Structure 1
Amino acid sequence: MKPQTIDDISSAARVSRHPFPAWMLRRRRLERLAELLEAAPTPARLFVTMECYPRRDRLMLRQEGSPLFVAFADPLFRREGLTGDSVADGVAFFGLSLREAHALLCDCGYGGVMRMGAPLNGLIAARARRLASKRTFAEWRDRIVAWI
């Protein structure tokens, strides 16, 4: 049997690079993000009043030290297709809605903790895990179809 690359096989068959459904991939990526945030040596920085920007500008937001910056520094995420550290890149890669991205990345959702100087990494990681455990419509659909 001759060894072949994925590109060689792709011409003869439909090849999926991710053997998991999108909701499972989202869950795994958010869990990894939480682990990276907890292991980060520096405190994460959140976006300030993210909701005040128009949608187009909000998607282009990026900030050094943000959770998306931490994610983009991870070689595994870059290999899987994370192309940058902007909100748009994070929304697409992690499968987040803009509302979920706002809840995870904006300072307004963390109360006064930011002003008191407490490290936010653990809080952001916990919120990422809550988003990971949230069942999406696609997951419910897959479970119902498997049950039927």
Structure 2
Amino acid sequence: MKHHALQEIRSVAKVNLEYPYPLPVARRDRLERWAQLLERCEDQALSTLHETEYQSAKERAIMRADNSPLSVAFADPVLRAAGLAGDSYGEIRQFFGLSHNQLHRLVCYCHFGATVNASAAAKNVRALIAAGDRPSIFARVRDMFRR
């Protein structure tokens, strides 16, 4: 292996001194990363998932769509390195620590139609960050009965 000075490398390649990125460990950090990724997509139309509220828990867990807010998160190598294993509804829900109701409001067809604007999805993720780490007691009780 031949060693080169940083200045020599910069003349032929883009050098990112921030790599590797610190892995987002806390729920808030993971959600923040997802919001940033969605904001980078700007006004791109992302696919929604159809009628998540009417699916059984088993079916809902495997739901996914290409070019969705879920796939934006999974496409990120930083989130994958932090443990995100797929872009299914169940995997995203578990990784980000979301209730069914929270994720339903982010990606369901009934709220947006066939597509959701990436910036609108980012705004909704940021609202989850602002709401704090735990869903309300009402949401937790409601989710127990939906399982």
Structure-1-length-normalised TM-score: 0.68
Report if the CA contact (8 A) 2:28-2:133 is conserved.
no
Aligned to 2:133: 136
CA contact (8 A) 1:83 1:89 kept: yes
AA aligned to 2:126 is: R
Instruction: Tell me which residue corresponds to 1:26.
Output: 27
CA distance in 1, matches of 2:55, 2:100: 12
Q: Give the length in aligned residue pairs.
A: 113
- Deviation, 1:19, is 9.4
Q: Hey, what's the Cα distance between the residues in 2 that align with 1:100 and 1:46? A: 14
Partners of 2:78 and 2:129 lie apart in 1 by: 18
Q: Which residue of 2 aligns with 1:45?
A: 47
| Alpha carbons 1:72, 1:82 under 8 Å: kept | yes
User: How far, CA to CA, are the matches of 2:24 and 2:64 in structure 1?
Assistant: 30
CA displacement at 1:32 relative to structure 2: 1.3
* Distance (Å, rounded) in 2 between the aligned partners of 1:92 and 1:56: 14
CA contact (8 A) 2:38 2:72 kept: yes
Q: Quote the Cα distance in structure 1 between the aligned partners of 2:125 and 2:36.
A: 10
Letter in structure 1 aligned against 2:39: E
Greater strand share, structure number? 2
Give the gaps of 5 or more residues in structure 1. 1-17, 139-148
CA contact (8 A) 2:24 2:79 kept: no
Per the normalisation by structure 2, the TM-score is 0.68
Deviation readout 1:11-53 (Å, 9 max, x if unpaired): xxxxxxx896xxxx11111121111112127421111211111
Matches within 5 A, 1:52-63: 52-63=54-65
Bigger fraction of residues in helix? 1
Deviation at residue 109 of structure 1 after TM alignment? 2.1
Percent identity between matched residues is: 37
Counterpart-to-counterpart distance in 1, 2:82 and 2:95: 9
Structure 2 segments unaligned to the other structure (5+ residues): 1-22, 136-147
